[in-house]
Amino acid sequence: MSSCCEKPETTVVKATLTVALAGNPNSGKTTLFNALTGLRQKVANYPGVTVEKKTGRCKLPSGQWINIIDLPGTYSLISRSPDEQVAMEVLRGLRADTPAPDAVVVVVDASNLQRNLYLVSQLIELGRPMVVALNMMDLAEQRGKPVSAEALSRELGVPVVPVVGHQRKGIEHLKQVIAQAKVAPMPDWPLPDAMKEELMLVGGGLAILHDGPEDHESKDSMPTGNGKGGLLDRYKAIAERLLIGDRAGDLLSLSQKEPVTSLLKSAAGRMGQLGIEPMQADIEAHYRWIEQVGDRALGHVDGPKVPAAPEAEVRSRSWTERIDAICIHKFWGLLIFTAIMATLFVSIFWLAQPVMDGIDGGVSWLGAQVASWLPDGPVRDLVNDGIFAGVGAVVVFVPQIALLFFFLSILEDSGYLARAAFLMDRLLAKVGLHGKSFIPLLSSFACAIPGIMATRTIESRKDRLATIFVAPFMSCSARLPVYTLLIGTFFAAYGPFKQAGIMLALYALGIVAAAGTAWVFKRSMLKGPKPAFILELPTYKMPQASQVARSVFTNTKAFLTKAGTTIFCLSVILWAMMYYPRMPKSHVEQVEQQASLHNQDVDTAIAGEQLRYSVAGRFGHLIEPAIRPLGYDWKMGVGLVGAFAAREVFVSTMGIVYSVGDVEQEATPLEDAMRADHYADGRAVWTPVVALSLLVWFVLAMQCMSTLAVVRRETGGWKWPLVMLVYMNALAYVVSLAVYQVGTRFLHG
Partner 1 sequence: MRKFCTVESCNQCDDPRTCTLNRLGIGCCGQVHSVGGDMDLRRRLLEMGFCNGANVEVIRRAPLGDPIEFRLRGYHLSLRDEQARHVNILPASR
Q: Residue 73 or residue 481: which is nearer to partner 1 going by CB? A: 73
Q: Is 535 in the site for partner 1 (CB under 8 A)?
A: yes
Q: Residue 277 or residue 360: which is nearer to partner 1 going by CB? A: 277
Residue 87: closest CA among 129, 25, 35: 25
Q: Residue 232 or residue 323: which is nearer to partner 1 going by CB? A: 323
Neighbouring-strand partners of residue 106: 22, 132
3-state secondary structure 380-445: HHHHHHHHHHHHHHHHCCHHHHHHHHHHHHHHHHHCHHHHHHHHHHHHHHCCCCCHHHHHHHHHHC
Q: Is 314 in the site for partner 1 (CB under 8 A)?
A: no
Q: Residue 110 or residue 574: which is nearer to partner 1 going by CB? A: 110
Out of 197, 250, 291, 633, which residue is the one contacting partner 1 (CB under 8 A)? 291
For partner 1, the binding residues in 417-456 under the rule CB under 8 A are: 422-423, 425-427, 429, 435
Angle at 215 between CA 212 and CA 218, to 5 degrees: 110
Q: Residue 432 or residue 564: which is nearer to partner 1 going by CB? A: 432
For partner 1, the binding residues in 24-83 under the rule CB under 8 A are: 75-76, 78, 80
Show contacts of 725-731: CB within 8 Å, 24+ apart.
727/517, 727/702, 728/472, 728/473, 728/700, 728/701, 728/702, 729/701, 729/702, 729/703, 731/513, 731/517, 731/700
* Cα–Cα distance measured from residue 697 to residue 618, given in angstroms and rounded to the nearest whole number: 21
* Cα–Cα distance measured from residue 81 to residue 248, given in angstroms and rounded to the nearest whole number: 11
* Cα–Cα distance measured from residue 616 to residue 581, given in angstroms and rounded to the nearest whole number: 10
Residue 459 CB, nearest approach to partner 1 (Å): 12
Out of 138, 169, 287, 729, which residue is the one contacting partner 1 (CB under 8 A)? 287
Interface stretch with partner 1, choices 252-260, 327-335, 503-511, 670-678 (CB under 8 A): 327-335
Interface stretch with partner 1, choices 109-117, 397-405, 609-617, 696-704 (CB under 8 A): 109-117
Residue 285 CB, nearest approach to partner 1 (Å): 9
Interface stretch with partner 1, choices 308-316, 350-358, 395-403, 406-414 (CB under 8 A): 308-316
Q: What is the DSSP letter of 610?
A: H
- What angle do helix axes 649-657 and 634-643 make, rounded to 10 degrees? 140
Q: Is 274 in the site for partner 1 (CB under 8 A)?
A: no
**Which secondary structure element, helix H or strand E, spans residue 133, and what is its range?**
strand 129-135
Q: Residue 429 or residue 511: which is nearer to partner 1 going by CB? A: 429
Q: Is 118 in the site for partner 1 (CB under 8 A)?
A: yes
Residue 532 CB, nearest approach to partner 1 (Å): 5
For partner 1, the binding residues in 120-159 under the rule CB under 8 A are: 145
The alpha carbon of residue 477 and the mean position of all alpha carbons in its chain are separated, in whole angstroms, by 22
Out of 44, 252, 334, 684, which residue is the one contacting partner 1 (CB under 8 A)? 334
Note whether 437 and 471 are within 8 A (CB). Answer: no
Q: Is 110 in the site for partner 1 (CB under 8 A)?
A: no
For partner 1, the binding residues in 220-249 under the rule CB under 8 A are: 245
Note whether 581 and 588 are within 8 A (CB). Answer: no
Residue 220: closest CA among 388, 68, 99, 67: 99
Helix (H, G, I), strand (E, B) or coil at 64: coil
Q: Residue 140 or residue 395: which is nearer to partner 1 going by CB? A: 140
Number of residues that bind partner 1 (CB under 8 A): 47
Note whether 491 and 499 are within 8 A (CB). Answer: yes
Q: Is 339 in the site for partner 1 (CB under 8 A)?
A: no
Out of 532, 542, 545, 680, which residue is the one contacting partner 1 (CB under 8 A)? 532
* Cα–Cα distance measured from residue 571 to residue 581, given in angstroms and rounded to the nearest whole number: 17
Interface stretch with partner 1, choices 351-359, 497-505, 528-536, 714-722 (CB under 8 A): 528-536
Residue 430 CB, nearest approach to partner 1 (Å): 10
Angle at 498 between CA 494 and CA 503, to 5 degrees: 120
Out of 18, 111, 444, 467, which residue is the one contacting partner 1 (CB under 8 A)? 111
Out of 329, 498, 557, 678, which residue is the one contacting partner 1 (CB under 8 A)? 329
Interface stretch with partner 1, choices 62-70, 233-241, 531-539, 558-566 (CB under 8 A): 531-539
Out of 15, 308, 314, 597, which residue is the one contacting partner 1 (CB under 8 A)? 308
Residue 432 CB, nearest approach to partner 1 (Å): 12
Out of 311, 586, 598, 681, which residue is the one contacting partner 1 (CB under 8 A)? 311
Q: Is 364 in the site for partner 1 (CB under 8 A)?
A: no
Residue 700: closest CA among 649, 652, 737: 737
* Cα–Cα distance measured from residue 714 to residue 52, given in angstroms and rounded to the nearest whole number: 10
Out of 73, 333, 367, 440, which residue is the one contacting partner 1 (CB under 8 A)? 333
* Cα–Cα distance measured from residue 303 to residue 297, given in angstroms and rounded to the nearest whole number: 14
Point out which residues bind partner 1 (CB under 8 A): 75-76, 78, 80, 111-115, 118, 145, 245, 279-280, 283-284, 287-288, 291, 308-309, 311-312, 320-321, 324, 328-331, 333-334, 422-423, 425-427, 429, 435, 529, 532-538
